[in-house]
Amino acid sequence: MTTSGGRPIPRISLRDWENRKNEIQKEIMAAAENVGFFIIQDQESPSVADIEEAFKASENFFRLPEDVKKQTPFIREQNTGWEMRAQIRPSTNLPDQKESIQLQYHRRHDPTWPRVEDQIPGFHKTISSFMEKTQGVSLKILSCLAVGIGLKEDYFARIHDVNSDEAMTTLRLLHYHENETRSIPNGHIRAGAHTDYDVLTLLFQRTGEDGLEVCPGRECYTSFGTGDVWTPVEAKTGEIVCNIGDMLMSLSDDRLKSLFHRVRNPRFGESRKARHSIAYFNQPMRSAIIQGPLKKYPPISAKDFILDASKRNYAQGERERQEAIENSKFKYPDNGQPGILLSANA
């Protein structure tokens, strides 16, 4: 356990998983319930080498000309494809200063994956393999959480079949633009405050590319964490930051709280180079029924849960946008409408 800004940051080792499984389960559940997020270390797979290889493939993709990246456009209905500065967060009502491509494992042989083997040899194999390994460690963590909230150990494995045509689990490669030669427009940040709609997000970062900040749900008292205490999470290659999503909050009957997080702009004296990260959103199959063991909320399909969460989130952002306009606190661009890119993973 380390601390940052006065808030504890649980670091949990997966070393010797088979012999320490019960111990690890208790550590994960304690962190999820009492702190709100945790960092995984010492996992056998994906290894540091696997993670570095995935980042190299990601960086090479974002170096491609826009005309090439545009050949894999974002498809809202499938939550796949490439976008650039198209995601407007309700917390800012301004576009995030980044580009990303979203990929789903079961679609790896269809046009929603970029055809860039000529420019980036091995891209498809590298990213497919990385997804398989990340799915494996995800299911280990999810089995611990399932037991902790009173579900069967294999509950999440059964509803997260990434080979199914109903799969929604998504890998997102992210590139936050450098600010050495280009300035960030006034009022914009790299990624506005938000929670994820999924069950559990695994985030990979690279050493030296900081900016991620978190505000655990139990300690977030204002809209989108505005004015609350935010804790920086230092980026370290090989570690996995685990975010509790809205769906897990519901499945735990609110015992676990979803995590507010954002990516702030570089401060004076900090590196203004580009930031790369990789997010793996564990989302159940579309028809999976979401309801906790205490049945605090009525049953709902995973697909409808995400749609409802999106509507609530963006409706709140629009209300606050209108209030800000009426109070003349901010000046929004004419096209500054939230929801241009309505991602299932927030």
pLDDT in tens, 15-52: 999 999 999 999 999 999 988 889 999 999 999 999 99
What confidence tens digit (pLDDT) does each residue in 221-247 have? 455 555 577 888 999 999 999 999 999
More reliable by pLDDT, 202 or 217: 202
Residue pair 113/137 in contact (Cβ under 8 Å)? The answer is: no
Q: Note the pLDDT tens digit of each residue in 150-172.
A: 999 999 999 999 999 999 999 99
Give the H/E segment covering residue 319.
helix 302-326
SS3 labels along 125-158: HHHHHHHHHHHHHHHHHHHHHHHHCCCCCCHHHH
263-273 pLDDT, tens digit per residue, is 776 666 666 68
**CATH number belonging to the domain at 2-326, selected among 2.60.120.330, 3.40.640.10, 3.10.20.740, 3.30.565.10:** 2.60.120.330
Lowest average pLDDT, out of 49-63, 76-90, 106-120, 311-325, goes to: 311-325
Kindly tell me if the per-residue pLDDT of 104 is higher than 70. Answer: yes
Q: Where are the domains of the chain?
A: 2-326
227: left (phi over 0), alpha (psi -120 to 50) or beta: left
Which pLDDT belongs to residue 29? 96
pTM given for the model: 0.86
Instruction: Give residue 194's pLDDT band: very low, low, confident or very high (50, 70, 90).
Output: confident
3-state secondary structure (DSSP) of residue 204: strand
- pLDDT for residue 98: 81
Summarize the confidence of residues 281-288 as an average pLDDT. Answer: 97
pLDDT at 66: 94
Residue 130 has pLDDT above 60, yes or no: yes
Residue 246 tokens, joined: 């809205």
Q: What is the pLDDT of residue 258?
A: 87
The SS3 assignment for 179 reads: coil
Q: Is 22 helix (H, G, I), strand (E, B) or coil?
A: helix
**Mean pLDDT score across all residues of the chain:** 84
